[in-house]
Structure 1
């Protein structure tokens, strides 16, 4: 399948619904959980593990405290910018993203539904109080002077290499490096149950959000999947729904996907250069 064929489809169908995954953000320096072969490279902390003990939350926040410095500095790449351009050209419509990095919004994309939430917000599981992640970072910095330099010095690569950071802002640190970390507490109720407002593995996407995405899928003229292996059902279910309704499904990503049987148009290629080419093709046709 060629870029020009996909461009022709988008011109024929009108604004397509978009589903994006972690593969779209890899060119921004945020590696995904799986390699091009679809196999998981790292195992993220699960919802059950995070909520089970204070020690698990201490481990998560210590690692996230370090990872946030790099994660929050990531900028939209050519793929994100192309999605915005294609939206402005009328080829793409609303975007359902499985990513929690906010890079679509930073690129100027409109109508973004964050399926798994956003790392920019933190919620207390005890009282439901909320705090901005940037403010929480500053509070953790004050409560843990010198922790970053000690923790980064405790591992050979300093956890600075891109293979260490994860799509949820977590990184790899040895357990012994986090035992002195002071876990952040809720500003309202003082509980140590603060959690980024994202759906961890094993958690459930809020039902109203799922229903909103189903409604968008059923009304779509086409569904375009970008940078997702569709291994996780939370995103794959929309591909299944679209295919069941006879809606064309375009997939642009590296490697095989779980939804290959439901795909009508498939491009196995890097996202940035491919979406830039698609923008040019659509622009040439629109003009």
Structure 2
């Protein structure tokens, strides 16, 4: 209502003050408060329930990090949930808990044009939001640790490239990145942003919307929404295009696995963050580290496949834990 005022009560030492503000200011405050709350909800809606951090656990992890000179860090989907990206397996909030949708299998993608049509329609709709996702404090902290010389090599099982965005350089994206597209026919490689333009050109009158986002950069669409969607082919050879990621049912390239094993050899300890390690492609590096008697630390909200291998296990939210860890030799915790 024009010209109206509103009382805001601020506690000031031992008395209440009443302040009147204009309706324009009210609207500004309300709009920004709603925006802040929406962003906060978006960044936490896929984080599963977690227990308060135990000081003793933080102390143990601090000693672990302080002792490490050449640390090998492996991250999983659990560190990106705070950026608004859901994972697969978390109780209550993971994709498997919220939906009957399942990830596309590699052989199905390669053999079926119908599945590729559905995949790219969903991916096309999701791309603007997916590509605008930003690193959270855990990604930034790990980039800082690398700059401090604490992290020798970082391996992520995620395909969101948030470590790259955060500034990590000594990095292997074990399962690839959704930001790259490859041709199965001629190995042509180009940026995902280019494919978005190619799809738009092929589908000038097609549009769809969905509220449900998945861990690998797509959304849920109905068969009716997908109908009529055209999938571009390679502009060099006409071959089938695929994101440069390892689909379920596919294998990580042998040369990449060998490279990561070599990096593991160079390290003196292993820290796992936000991964249940249910997928063998990541778990095998923990088995090798255990064989080599390297100290292993794990920070994850839930249990993992490698709990029995860990020297230090902290069941808590990664960002809360890392905020209490000093990557230098000095120890501080609260």
Q: TM-score, normalised by structure 2?
A: 0.77
Residues 131-160 of structure 1: CA deviation (Å, up to 9, x unaligned) = 211011012122222433xx21xxxxxx23
Matched, 1:184 2:232: yes
Matched, 1:200 2:200: no
Q: Pick the aligned partner of 1:123 from 173, 182, 185.
A: 182
In 2: Cα distance, 1:261 partner to 1:274 partner: 21
Matched, 1:82 2:141: yes
In 2: Cα distance, 1:39 partner to 1:138 partner: 28
Specify the alignment match of 2:215 in structure 1: 167
**3-state DSSP class of the match of 1:2?**
helix
Deviation at 1:283, TM superposition (A): 4.5
Q: Pick the aligned partner of 2:76 from 2, 21, 26.
A: 21
User: Structure 1: where are the runs of 5+ without partners?
Assistant: 153-158
Specify the alignment match of 2:272 in structure 1: 225
In 2: Cα distance, 1:183 partner to 1:177 partner: 14
User: Structure 2: where are the runs of 5+ without partners?
Assistant: 1-55
Contact 2:300 / 2:314 at 8 angstroms: preserved in 1? yes
**3-state DSSP class of the match of 1:183?**
coil
Contact 2:174 / 2:252 at 8 angstroms: preserved in 1? yes
Specify the alignment match of 1:145 in structure 2: 204
Contact 1:20 / 1:99 at 8 angstroms: preserved in 2? yes
Higher relative contact order (CA 8 A, sep 6+): 1
Cα gap change, 1:238/1:39 in structure 2, threshold over 3 Å: closer, same or farther? farther
How many residues are aligned here?
A: 273
In 1: Cα distance, 2:242 partner to 2:87 partner: 21
Cα gap change, 1:39/1:108 in structure 2, threshold over 3 Å: closer, same or farther? closer
Residues 68-122 of structure 1: CA deviation (Å, up to 9, x unaligned) = 1111010000110111122223332210111111110111112111111111111
**3-state DSSP class of the match of 1:147?**
coil
Specify the alignment match of 1:285 in structure 2: 330
Specify the alignment match of 1:67 in structure 2: 126
Specify the alignment match of 1:45 in structure 2: 104
In 2: Cα distance, 1:275 partner to 1:126 partner: 44
Contact 1:23 / 1:228 at 8 angstroms: preserved in 2? yes
Aligned runs of 1:258-269 on 2, under 5 Å? 258-269=305-316
Deviation at 1:238, TM superposition (A): 0.4
In 1: Cα distance, 2:261 partner to 2:91 partner: 28
In 2: Cα distance, 1:128 partner to 1:87 partner: 32
RMSD between aligned alpha carbons? Answer: 1.9
Residues 222-261 of structure 1: CA deviation (Å, up to 9, x unaligned) = 1010110000000000011101111111111110111111
In 2: Cα distance, 1:146 partner to 1:35 partner: 37
**3-state DSSP class of the match of 2:327?**
helix
In 1: Cα distance, 2:59 partner to 2:148 partner: 15
Matched, 1:112 2:160: no
Q: TM-score, normalised by structure 1?
A: 0.90
Specify the alignment match of 1:99 in structure 2: 158
Instruction: Work out which of the two has the higher radius of gyration on C-alpha atoms and give 1 or 2.
Output: 2
Contact 1:36 / 1:255 at 8 angstroms: preserved in 2? no
Residues 203-237 of structure 1: CA deviation (Å, up to 9, x unaligned) = 01000100111112233211010110000000000
* Structure 1 range deviating more: 70-79 or 10-19: 10-19
**3-state DSSP class of the match of 1:246?**
coil
In 1: Cα distance, 2:175 partner to 2:116 partner: 19
Q: Pick the aligned partner of 2:257 from 202, 210, 213.
A: 210
